[in-house]
Structures are given as structure tokens and as C-alpha cells.
Structure 1
Amino acid sequence: MSTWPRWLHWLQRTPTVVLDDVQRQRLQHWQALPDTDWQQNARHTRLLVVDVEASGLNLRRDKLISIGSVALQDGGIDPREAFEVVLRQQQVSSSDNILIHGISGAQQREGTPPAEALLQFLEYSGKAPLVAYHAFFDQHMIATAMRRHLGLHYQPRWLDLAWLLPSLFASRQAHVVALDDWLQRFGIRNHRRHNAIADCLATAQLLQLALHRAEERGITTLQALAATERLRRHNNPV
């Protein structure tokens, strides 16, 4: 499970956000959903692999452009349940940035209004655990957008495969490395790198391998997976 850095305490200062009645009701419905029981078996839990695209890598200045997600249920990936949304941008990102993620200026200008896009993501994700590779960036960009556009202090629990994989497959890689290194080691093809859905599908396959290896080691619950990640972080500080 990812920890929330102390220097991000400013995220808790929720701005004044104006939502219409329907949007408020949708947000309240999500808030009323029960939290996931982290003592349950991870393989039989709905897990959401999440990836974002942003206008850059500056955590304070850059903006969330898109969210992609793929769900695992009972260990299987159902592409029909994938989620992707582009948030409408008042100012499109740079040409160099567009070359990386492929979301054109027109797509950014014509995207879904941010509050609506984020509500759609909340309705899709529910209170399911979120999984990412180097989760902190995704975590921060989504949380910042939720605070800015919905006035929501969004702090779900995440699992970070960048820490879990070297714990479970130490013979293949003992240290935190780039996502592409793990994809290459396991022969997983990503047909469109830096596309949110394509990255999610590739990462979801890594999650399948991680869940299988964890079960072999008797690590079956979400809480046990979180503890495995936490131990790796503690023993290998960045």
C-alpha cells in the first residue's frame, strides 16, 4: 500500500467547488459505498489497474489529461470492462508532450468536462483497490484533480507493482526498475506505450503473474500483499 507523503498535506485543504444537484448526488452515492475488506482473498477481489497521462511530470504544475483502467476479477482480465476518459483542457499540452501520449490538442480541447470525467471514474472504480506501476504519480495526479474539480479529498488504497514485483520475483530483478524491464523479462508486449489503456493491459498481465506467485508463497489477502509491498519499501528506501 502506498503511503501519503507528509509534504502533500496541502491536498487536504479542499477548495470551494460548485457542483450541480445531480453531480452532488452522484458524488454522495460514491462516498456512501462500503470500503473493500482488505482481509479478503486478492484473487477474488475486483482490482483496477490504473494509468494516467499528464501534461508533464511536474507534480505541482502539470495537469491530468487522461485516466485509463482495466479490471481484474477472479484473476482474469475483461477488456470489455476497460475505462478511459480524456479530461477537457483549457490549455493543451506541449507538442513534445503530445508526441509521448498521442492525445492531440483537439482531443484535449474536446474532452469530457473534468468534473464529469472524474465522476465517471469514481462510478467505474467504486471503492475497489487501485494498482499501478510507480503508483505515486498516478495517485498524486488523480488526487489533485479530484480536489480541484470535485472538492474531494481522494485517498484510496493503492498497490504498487514497482515494489511488489521485486519482492515476489527477486531472482529475476532485485531492485525497482522501469516498467518496460519487467515487460521484457516476461515477454509481455505493449502495442502502444504511453497510451493509458495499453499500459494498463500490459500492467494487468504483470499483476496476474504477481498474484499467482504470491499465492504460491501463501500471500493470499490484499492486506498480505500490502504488507509485502510495505516491507520492500522499508528495506529498500529510495
Structure 2
Amino acid sequence: MSLFAWLRPANAALNAEQQQRRERLRVAPPLGECSLREQRWVVLDLETTGLNLNRDQVLSIGAVVIEDGAIDFAQQFERTLQRTDHKLSPSVLIHGLGPSAIAAGSDPVEALLDFMEFVGDSPLLAFHAPFDQHMLGRALKDSLGYRLQHPFLDVAEMAPLLCPQAHIREAGLDDWMGYFKLQAGERHHAAADALATAELALILFSRARQQQIHSPLNLQQRLSQWKRRQQTHSF
């Protein structure tokens, strides 16, 4: 994101209660050396108006929590954001969020505050995480004047790191679900995609432990090393 994008003022003025909620949002620490099982993870998926990082908007947020080594179905998040200026685009054929659903959505300020309170100080997981990280960060900056600093790990990078025998490095979520024979009730729906990503992440955490990767910090370090090797081999 450009420097000028970060300097843009928030589009919506926050009332006193919203400002207090923003100030109370928890600061996420760097990834640590607790076990992968002990770490609370928030698995995120976004549906957006398109793929333009600087112009398109977040339409819906879906998230589930991995805690104590399992998906905690008591901790789920789902919101559609109201976008009064949204014009119908071809992306509706993918995510299915038409004008009526968006018009009936939640106020973006309230939805984003709710989501960050749900996240707390937990790190985030997503499939193709750089996109979700960028789009969520921009939405938070524009609507709340809040800078997202939570750690993100990319499940799309974890999979080929931990399962090199699959030989499907550039695969999408559907490819990895097929590889592990996972079933998805629905796709291109934020909550359903977050759940599918969480199921994949649990398998990958098990593979990580088998490879002596026992902590979030260790996993982050191995991912960084793997990415550097991939970049070196690409030249």
C-alpha cells in the first residue's frame, strides 16, 4: 500500500462510544513460543467487490476460531457490510451478495469494531493471506482510522512448505481440499471458506508437529526461510 493510502482520513466519523471501543482494541503481540495447540488462531475469509487492492471494498467477513487444537464452533463471526455506494459488479456471480443483501448489511464501523473485538490479540490465518491482510487493513484504516498490526500467516504457503510431496505449490483452496479429501458445503461464501481454511490449517498443524515445528514463531520462521528459497530458485 502506498504512503498516501495510509494517510487518507477515515471516511466515517466515529461517535464517542465507537472511539472508546477502538481505543480498547487489544494489541497483538508477535508470534511466540507457545505450542501450536495452545495458540488461539482466528481464521479469516473476506468477500470483496473485486480484486483491486486500492479500489475494491470488503463486502463480508467470515471467521472461525481454532483453539485447543480444534475448531471452536462456539466462536464464529459473520457479517455483511453495508455499502451504499456499491455498484453491481461481475463479482456478484462469485460471492452472491446482491444489492439487497448489501443494503441490509451492518454499518461498516460497527461490523469492523465487532470483528476486531472478536479477534482480540490473536494472530490471523487466511488462504492467500496477503490479499485479506491488505483489504482488511485498508477497511480498518478508512472506516476506523485504525492500523492493523496483527500477525498473519498464509495457509496457501503453509501447505506446500509442509506437504512438498503434493507438488501443487500454486494450488487454490479447492485443490488442497481435494488433496486432503475435505468436503466443503459451500464455496465463495466468507464463513464457509473460513471454515474450510480452518479444517485445512488443522491438518497442516499436525504435519508441522511431525516435522518438529512446534510453535507459532517456529512456523513463521520456517515459512520465511521457505519463501526465500522459492524466490532464489525463481531467478
Matches within 5 A, 1:170-209: 170-173=164-167, 175-209=169-203
Partner of 1:35: 29
| RMSD of equivalent CA atoms | 1.7
Quote how far apart the aligned CAs of 1:204 are.
0.6
Quote how far apart the aligned CAs of 1:61 are.
1.3
Counterpart of 1:24 (choices 19, 22, 40) is 19
Matched, 1:131 2:153: no
1:135-158 C-alpha deviation (Å, 9 max, x unpaired): 011111100100100011112110
Gaps of 5+ in 2: none
Aligned residues with identical type, % of pairs: 34
Q: Return the letter of the residue paired with 2:18.
A: Q
- Cα gap change, 1:10 to 1:157, in 2 (>3 Å): farther
Matched, 1:75 2:44: no
Q: How many residues are aligned here?
A: 231
Partner of 1:212: 206
Partner of 1:100: 94
Structure 1 stretches of 4+ with a deviation exceeding 4 A read none
- Cα gap change, 1:167 to 1:112, in 2 (>3 Å): same
Structure 1 CA distance for aligned equivalents of residues 106 and 95 of structure 2:
17
Kept in 2, the 8 Å contact 1:43–1:74? The answer is yes
Partner of 2:107: 113
Q: Return the letter of the residue paired with 2:23.
A: Q
Kept in 2, the 8 Å contact 1:164–1:228? The answer is no
SS of aligned partner of 2:166: coil
Partner of 2:218: 224
Structure 2 CA distance for aligned equivalents of residues 115 and 186 of structure 1:
38
TM-score, normalisation: structure 2: 0.92
Gaps of 5+ in 1: 1-6
SS of aligned partner of 2:33: coil
- Cα gap change, 1:167 to 1:193, in 2 (>3 Å): same
Structure 1 CA distance for aligned equivalents of residues 31 and 222 of structure 2:
17
Structure 2 CA distance for aligned equivalents of residues 42 and 14 of structure 1:
37
SS of aligned partner of 2:63: strand
Matched, 1:142 2:136: yes
Kept in 2, the 8 Å contact 1:36–1:127? The answer is no
Q: Return the letter of the residue paired with 1:152.
A: Y
Structure 1 CA distance for aligned equivalents of residues 35 and 60 of structure 2:
30
Q: Return the letter of the residue paired with 2:172.
A: A
Q: Return the letter of the residue paired with 1:200.
A: A
Q: Return the letter of the residue paired with 1:188.
A: L
Q: Return the letter of the residue paired with 1:114.
A: P
- Cα gap change, 1:187 to 1:221, in 2 (>3 Å): same
Partner of 1:4: none
Quote how far apart the aligned CAs of 1:95 are.
4.9
1:85-143 C-alpha deviation (Å, 9 max, x unpaired): 11110133425321210122111012111111100001100110000111011111100
TM-score, normalisation: structure 1: 0.91
- Cα gap change, 1:57 to 1:40, in 2 (>3 Å): same
Kept in 1, the 8 Å contact 2:61–2:190? The answer is yes
Quote how far apart the aligned CAs of 1:185 are.
0.4
Kept in 1, the 8 Å contact 2:28–2:149? The answer is no
